Structure 1
Amino acid sequence: MRVRRNKRFHAEIAASALSDIMFFLLLFFLIISTLANPNVIDLALPKADSNKTTDKAHVTISVTADKKYFIDKQQVPFEELEGTLMSRISASGDNVVIVRLPKELQVQDMVDILQIGQKNKLKFSIATTK
């Protein structure tokens, strides 16, 4: 008596390639989400009832809690802040400056920055969260 072996086709799905694809997609979205945020200096901004967003790219001054000053993600000492700011303003042609200050900073630190705009006739806007 002859024994026949069962040679039927069994469908299989290789799941190892799917996990690789999911890993690459996750990596892609993580990298893109960090590039989409223009201000990567993390600050706890003060809160306001109304919040207006801007579509244009303005010059941004950011100050950290330990009083490090940044103009568009470039660290600048306070003594050189006015000169660097005016060169960025003349290059962009827009006299609107967005100031990002943490809520823990003293009012005098904000006034020191706003006096630069007052002296050079710039329009300053303070960034807040809703």
Structure 2
Amino acid sequence: MNLRKRNRPAAEVQTSAMNDIMFFLMLFFLIASTLTNPNVIKLLLPKSESGQSISKKTVSIAVTKDLEYFLDKQPVKLEDIQPRLLVYKQQVEELTIVLSVDRTVAIQDVVQIMDIANKMGIKLVLATEPK
């Protein structure tokens, strides 16, 4: 019996180009992730099924679980919120407050902000997280 070996060409896959592409993608996502919102205040918002977005001039007020108040991401005391809102209201006719409150904050602390907005005639919207 004369069995001869068949010489088949070896199939090779070059992955060096794929390694370069994956490196550049990883580098891009690392850089992009450090640039997105570095000064965000971490809050656990309550959930809502019928949330709406707002397109008018808005001012954000955030209340953390430690009862720290932030007006447009700047720390502020509760008694200083009304004078600061008065400055905003003089600049814009229709002002809306977006109130972001941690879900562990007592309702009385939320009502204090709502009372300030009602006294000044400013529309207030409570921020929620979609389900």
Q: TM-score, normalised by structure 2?
A: 0.74
Ranges in structure 2 where 5+ consecutive residues have no aligned partner: 1-13
Q: CA deviation at 1:87?
A: 1.4
After superposition, residues 1-130 of structure 1 pair within 5 angstroms as 13=16, 21-32=24-35, 34-35=36-37, 40-56=40-56, 58-130=58-130
Q: CA deviation at 1:82?
A: 0.7
Alpha-carbon deviations, 1:61-108, whole Å to 9, x = none? 000000000011000011111111221333344411110011111111
Ranges in structure 1 where 5+ consecutive residues have no aligned partner: 1-10
Q: Cα RMSD (Å) of the superposition?
A: 2.6
How many residues get paired?
117
Contact 2:96–2:123 (CA under 8 A) maintained in structure 1:
yes
Once residues 121 and 85 of structure 1 are traced to their aligned partners in structure 2, the CA distance between those partners, rounded to angstroms, is: 11
Change (3 A) 1:88 1:108: same
Once residues 98 and 119 of structure 1 are traced to their aligned partners in structure 2, the CA distance between those partners, rounded to angstroms, is: 16
Once residues 66 and 128 of structure 1 are traced to their aligned partners in structure 2, the CA distance between those partners, rounded to angstroms, is: 19
Once residues 117 and 12 of structure 1 are traced to their aligned partners in structure 2, the CA distance between those partners, rounded to angstroms, is: 61
Identity of aligned residues (%): 29
Q: TM-score, normalised by structure 1?
A: 0.74
